[in-house]
Amino acid sequence: MTIGIVGLGLIGGSIGLALREPDRKIMGYDPNPDAVRVAGDRFCIDSVGTLDEVSQADVVFLAVPPIYVVSALEAVRKAKRPETVVTDCTSAKNAMADWVMKIKDPTVVIGHPMAGHENSGAKYASAWMFRGAKWILCPVSFTDKQAVRQVESLIKAMGASPVRMPPELHDRQIATLSHLPHAIAGALVQMQEDLAAEDVSGGSWRDLTRVGGVDPNLWTQIFIENRIELARAIGDLESRLGTLKTALETNDDKTVRSFFDRAKKAKKAFEIK
Amino acid sequence: MTIGIVGLGLIGGSIGLALREPDRKIMGYDPNPDAVRVAGDRFCIDSVGTLDEVSQADVVFLAVPPIYVVSALEAVRKAKRPETVVTDCTSAKNAMADWVMKIKDPTVVIGHPMAGHENSGAKYASAWMFRGAKWILCPVSFTDKQAVRQVESLIKAMGASPVRMPPELHDRQIATLSHLPHAIAGALVQMQEDLAAEDVSGGSWRDLTRVGGVDPNLWTQIFIENRIELARAIGDLESRLGTLKTALETNDDKTVRSFFDRAKKAKKAFEIK
Summarised one tens digit per residue, pLDDT across range A191-236 is 999 987 788 999 999 999 999 999 999 999 999 999 999 999 999 9
Indicate whether B193 and B153 sit together in one domain: no
The pLDDT value recorded for residue B254 is 98
Indicate whether B223 and B143 sit together in one domain: no
The pLDDT value recorded for residue B199 is 87
Decide if pLDDT at A271 tops 90.
no
Decide if pLDDT at B158 tops 60.
yes
The pLDDT value recorded for residue A184 is 98
Contact at CB, A228 and B238, closer than 8 angstroms: no
Average pLDDT over residues B71-90: 96
Rounded to whole angstroms, what are the CA distances from A191 to A178, A208, B159, B236?
20, 13, 28, 8
Question: Containing H/E element for A62?
Answer: strand A59-62
Give A175-196 pLDDT, tens digit per residue. 999 999 999 999 999 999 998 7
Indicate whether A12 and A43 sit together in one domain: yes
Give A-chain residues touching B236 at CB under 8 angstroms: 191
Contact at CB, A181 and B204, closer than 8 angstroms: yes
In this prediction the pTM is 0.91
Contact at CB, A181 and B173, closer than 8 angstroms: no
Give A-chain residues touching B136 at CB under 8 angstroms: 200
The pLDDT value recorded for residue A273 is 52
Indicate whether B14 and B52 sit together in one domain: yes
Give A-chain residues touching B183 at CB under 8 angstroms: 241, 244
Decide if pLDDT at A272 tops 70.
no
No. of H helices and E strands in chain A?
A: 12, 9
Contact at CB, A183 and B244, closer than 8 angstroms: yes
Nearest-Å Rg of the Cα atoms of chain A is: 21
Contact at CB, A192 and B202, closer than 8 angstroms: no
Tally of CA atoms within 13 A in the half-sphere of A123 that contains its CB: 6
Angle at A135 between CA A132 and CA A140, to 5 degrees: 155
| CATH number of the structural domain spanning residue B10 | 3.40.50.720
| CATH number of the structural domain spanning residue B258 | 1.10.3660.10
Tell me which residue range forms the domain holding B247: 170-272
Indicate whether B174 and B140 sit together in one domain: no
Mean predicted lDDT score pLDDT of chain B:
95
Indicate whether A132 and A226 sit together in one domain: no
Nearest-neighbour CA in chain B from A81: distance (Å): 32
- The interface pTM score, or ipTM, of the predicted complex is 0.91
Torsion sign over Cα B214, B217, B223, B226: negative
Domain final residue pick, A144, A165, A186: A165
Q: What is the number of structural domains in chain A?
A: 2
Provide the pLDDT confidence category of residue B93 given band limits of 50, 70 and 90. confident
Contact at CB, B116 and A259, closer than 8 angstroms: no
Average pLDDT over residues B1-27: 97
Indicate whether A160 and A175 sit together in one domain: no
Domain final residue pick, B118, B145, B166: B166
Tally of CA atoms within 13 A in the half-sphere of A153 that contains its CB: 11
Domain final residue pick, B149, B166, B183: B166
Indicate whether A142 and A218 sit together in one domain: no
Contact at CB, A201 and B114, closer than 8 angstroms: yes
Torsion sign over Cα A212, A215, A218, A220: positive
Indicate whether B118 and B215 sit together in one domain: no
| Chosen from B173, B204, B264 to mutate, greatest number of chain A CBs within 10 A | B204
Give A99-141 pLDDT, tens digit per residue. 999 999 999 999 999 998 888 999 999 999 999 999 999 999 9
Contact at CB, A259 and B205, closer than 8 angstroms: no
Rounded to whole angstroms, what are the CA distances from B139 to A129, A237, B18, B83, B152?
47, 38, 23, 17, 11
Q: CA nearest A199 in B: which residue? A: B270
Give B-chain residues touching A131 at CB under 8 angstroms: none
Q: CA nearest B260 in A: which residue? A: A216
The pLDDT value recorded for residue B272 is 57
Indicate whether A8 and A37 sit together in one domain: yes
| Residue A18 and residue A159 in contact, taking contact as beta carbons nearer than 8 Å | yes
Indicate whether B158 and B190 sit together in one domain: no
Nearest residue, CB atoms, A211 vs list B193, B204, B245: B204
Give B172-230 pLDDT, tens digit per residue. 999 999 999 999 999 999 999 998 778 899 999 999 999 999 999 999 999 999 999 99
Sorted by sequence, the CB contacts under 8 Å of residue B71 that are 6+ apart come out as none
Indicate whether A116 and A188 sit together in one domain: no
